[in-house]
Structure 1
Amino acid sequence: MDLLGPLTAELDELLADADAALARHYPGERAGRQPVHTLYLPADRFQAGSVADLGAQASQVLAEHEQDFLTVIDGDEDLLARVRAKIETEPIEDLRIDFEDGYGTRPDEEEDAAAQAGGRALATLLGQDPPPFTGIRIRSFEPESRARGVRTLLLFLEALGQVPDGFVVTLPKVTAIEQVAGLAHACQRLEAHLGGRLQFEVQVETPQSVLGADGRVLLAPIVTAAEGRLTGFHYGTYDYSAACGIAAGQQSLDHPAADHAKAVMQVAAAGTGVRLSDGSTNRLPVGDHLVPGWQEHLRLIRRSLERGFYQGWDLHPAQLPTRYAATYRFFRDGFPAAAQRLHTYVSRQESAILDEPATARALSDFVARGLDCGALEESEVVTATGLQIGTLWAMARRPREGERA
């Protein structure tokens, strides 16, 4: 045993750089809750009252078509009540004010005015009843739109007057790692000008953001290039599909090309604190397509959740009922088995399922996410698992708001 001390010291010295790199590149889950969706609203339609208006529209659709919605959710009255309460109290979790595809190409003077008006409107909203997360999608950092994107961001932030908590800048159509590094640099300069802390998310909607010309997978170096500012990878359904040559009629969240891109996103983001969001469906639940649209949206959200994508895009207030219904049902359906397995694991009871620590962590994370989104209540979690909430979060290795990873 005399060798043990010197050998351990030698190994620590030998692996010191690798240990530091691991801690730097893979810090683990970031603190705080993850929104279950991002709702994109064209900038010319955004006003201080937009969140309340969108919630009212969602409530109206639900009230007018309650029986249709009950049919879609298999007559689950409890789920209907939960969805109705969510829409009444917090209809939107993450609002993205869109100056890109949803806004379209406008004269510079018009976009300047919209950026300033949007910043002022968000400042007003922040003093009222804002969603937990907000942000702005600027134009891409391709040469032809780069200056316009930066100008819009600067004008918007100057009018806003501060960088609020939960504010995120969305960078679309990334085609090079250097564009991400460029936005990190711009954020640093804007912070020096305005104060606060800017973070951003990258939309994965070009093949070049997944695979480089030299055959390298680029999503992992994109995380590094963001210099700690990257909060998420968001899949862009239609731009990515079109760039891959997929016909318009087959473009969908569940196309094999979409699954491939999202699988690469998932591996690249694992352990980094960068969160994942699925994209949108353009088959909206409106008019004669209300029930089929709800059914399709419900199915796609459930599919995303089962594949570890706990967030997605919404484009219309009529999608809010199915967003919350699918999310709540996913966590409530899985909760009894997860709670029982956690209880068995912690109490070391004999079971037909032998869960390892990594699985116990996944079970804890599942329950913690159910609590975060409102699908589960703390009282039922404590009763069913026998765990205090702080212990649950510690097992999931998910820092709570205000804690460090």
Structure 2
Amino acid sequence: MRTSLDAEQVRRRLDRLSVVDEDRARRHPGAGSARQPVHTCYVPASAVDADVLRTWASTALDAFDEHLPDPAALGALLGMADPVAAAVHPRVREKLAGAPVEDLRIDFEDGYGSPGDEAEDADAERTAGIVAGWLRDGEQPLHFGLRVKSFDTPELRARSVRTLDVFLTALLRRWGSLPAGFVLTFPKVVDVAQVEVLVELLELFEQQLGLASGSLRFEIQVETTQSIVDGAGRLALPRFVEAGRRRVSGLHFGTYDYTASCGLTAAHQHLAHRSCDFARHVMQVSAAGTGIFLSDGSTNVLPVGDQVRHGWRNHYELVRRSLAHGFYQGWDLHPAQLVSRYAAAFAEFRESAPAQAERLAAYVGSGSGAVLDEPATARALATAFVRALDGGAIDAAEARELTTVDEAGLRALARL
């Protein structure tokens, strides 16, 4: 067949795009197979003891049983339809009665303060021993680690590094290796140089402690306007991620520091504010295709005392809003928030499951539907079921009945 263009001239031009392919593969390797926790609990280091996981679980379960004894009570409080409440209620209780804390951060920053070097050294060593005890007994959460102090001032920087040094040294002495699931949280980042210095320090830790290169990973907390737009008017987060040299595991939004940095008054500092939406959208496009987990922030409206029901309704609506915006993880500041956290996650899935299952069945050829989905959407549909399986919103038998796809097939589709 005759053509107009010289094949060699075409090849030379197309070959120039190989550098684009290589750069895209490096920057956007795609979602990994690791399971993302649905939340992160922040507990001040001074309040962390060997029983903190059991305390959070029992406090949440007691509140659930006291105020939400049956599906009707759950549905009435949170506005769920009867069939959804009937499916969600037992699953939430089962989750709370098991191991509801999926991610815990031992907080040495805002929630902890500055009690002095001697006290902070002691807490770093003591909490390392607690983590080693969890590991020994098989009680550790899916993820766990530290939030160290920010690099805002010379004093805070030095204290931040020392706390991490004391903790890691003590943990490795007691446990012998860096445990799977360990992660560091790096707060209030305002400049790419802070990320670069942290990475260099983590490399030093790995060399001195005999750890594998790249094993110390961290989350960046997005708590300042400078972490969204830098001084030159560029988006800051892509440069932060690049400077992290594949060590960045998550981007976590900080509600109150961020809204304060925007100049909002206390009455308007909440997760649903549009300024937060802008920051979250920047986080989303910066992390897309990288395998970096996104986490929404917290609400300080707690379900305690005579405000339990109000606190649950507020938290439930905010979690549902986060889920609708593609944020599948968020901060929890009080054990009772686990109730509304799982109620929201499970209800979101149960309400959408029939329609999503129909579309997924049609995509794999075992059903028919009025929507013609692309492979990327099929991947998203399968991922929703995988998240639900991992979190406890559905079991494998029900997932197969709905989608006609077994668990292995769903997980394979989600990884495409």
TM-score (norm: length of structure 1): 0.94
User: Do 1:69 and 1:291's aligned partners in 2 also have CA atoms closer than 8 Å?
Assistant: no
Rounded to whole Å, the distance in 2 between the matches of 1:281 and 1:318 is 13
Q: Is the 8 A contact 1:169 1:201 kept in 2?
A: yes
- Which residue of structure 2 lines up, in the alignment, with residue 156 of structure 1? 167
Q: Which secondary structure state, in structure 2, belongs to the residue aligned with residue 125 of structure 1?
A: helix
Label 1:81 to 1:221 Cα distance change in 2 as closer, same or farther (>3 A).
same
Instruction: Indicate whether 1:23 and 2:25 are aligned.
Output: yes
Per mean C-alpha deviation after superposition, the further-off stretch among 174-183 and 65-74 is: 65-74
1:216 lines up with 2:227 in the alignment: no
Match for residue 119 of structure 2?
A: 110
1:132 equivalent among 142, 146, 157? 142
* Mapped partners of 1:253, 1:181: distance in 2: 30
CA-CA distance at 1:358 after TM superposition? 2.1
1:217-242 Cα offsets, whole Å, 9 max, x none, are 01111111100110110000000000
Indicate which of 92, 99, 106 corresponds to 1:97: 106
What residue in structure 2 maps to residue 168 of structure 1?
183
State the alpha-carbon separation in 1 of the partners of residues 239 and 411 from structure 2.
Answer: 29
Amino acid at match of 1:24: R
- 1:155 is matched by which residue type in structure 2? V
Written as runs of structure 1 = structure 2, the 5 A alignment for 1:294-313 is 294-313=312-331
2:371 pairs with 1:364? no
- Equivalent residue number for residue 56 of structure 2: 54
Q: TM-score, normalised by structure 2?
A: 0.92
Counterpart residue number, 1:228: 246
- State the partner residue of 1:342: 360
| Structure 1 Cα separation of the partners of residues 92 and 13 of structure 2 | 55
Q: Is structure 2 residue 283 aligned with structure 1 residue 265?
A: yes
* Superposition misfits of 4+ residues, deviation over 3 angstroms: 1-9, 67-71, 348-351
- The reply on whether 1:239 has 2:262 as its aligned counterpart is no
CA distance in 1, matches of 2:223, 2:102: 23
Cα shift at 1:349? 5.8
Deviation of the 1:365 alpha carbon: 1.7
Q: 1 CA distance for matches of 2:77 and 2:180?
A: 36
Q: Distance in 2 between matches of 1:4 and 1:114?
A: 71
Q: Which residue identity lines up with residue 152 of structure 2 in the other structure?
A: E
**1:171-186 equivalent positions in 2, closer than 5 A:** 171-186=186-201
Q: Does the CA-based 8 Å contact 1:38-1:94 persist in structure 2? A: yes
Q: 1:375 to 1:4 in 2, by over 3 A?
A: farther
SS in 2 for 1:317: coil
Query: Residue 141 in 1 paired to residue 151 in 2?
Result: yes
Structure 1 contact 62–69 (Cα < 8 Å) conserved = no
User: What residue number does 1:355 align with?
Assistant: 373
Decide whether aligned partners of structure 1 residues 352 and 77 sit closer, same or farther in structure 2, where only a CA change above 3 A counts. Answer: closer
Instruction: Return the alpha-carbon distance in structure 1 between the equivalents of residues 9 and 314 of structure 2.
Output: 59
Q: Which amino acid aligns with 2:283?
A: M
SS of match in other structure, 1:169: strand
Q: For residue 45 of structure 1, what is the aligned residue in structure 2? A: 47
Structure 1 residues 228 and 4: alpha-carbon distance in aligned structure 2, compared to 1, 3 A threshold: farther
Instruction: Name the aligned partner's letter for residue 164 of structure 2.
Output: L
Residue type at the aligned position of 1:132? L
Q: Residues 50-97 of structure 1, C-alpha deviation per residue, up to 9 Å, x if partnerless?
A: 101111111111222224655324462432211111011112000100
For 1:364 and 1:101, how far apart are their aligned partners in 2?
Answer: 38
Q: CA RMSD in A?
A: 1.8
1:71 aligned residue: 76
Could you tell which deviates more after superposition, 180-189 or 238-247? Answer: 180-189
CA distance in 2, matches of 1:371, 1:301: 19
Q: Distance in 1 between matches of 2:393 and 2:368?
A: 29
Is this contact kept in 2: 1:204–1:236, CA < 8 A? yes
The size of the alignment, in residue pairs, is 398
Distance 1:292 1:7 in 2: 69
Deviates more, 1:251-260 or 1:368-377: 368-377
What amino acid maps onto 1:329 in structure 2?
A
1:202 counterpart SS class: strand
Alignment of 1:79-90 (within 5 A): 79-90=88-99
Larger RCO (CA within 8 A; separation ≥ 6): 1
Q: Which runs of 5+ in 1 are unaligned?
A: 399-405
Cα offset for 1:135? 0.9
Classify the secondary structure of the residue corresponding to 2:364: helix
User: Are the counterparts in 2 of residues 47 and 122 from structure 1 also a CA contact under 8 Å?
Assistant: no
Distance verdict in 2 for CA 1:4–1:158, change over 3 Å = farther
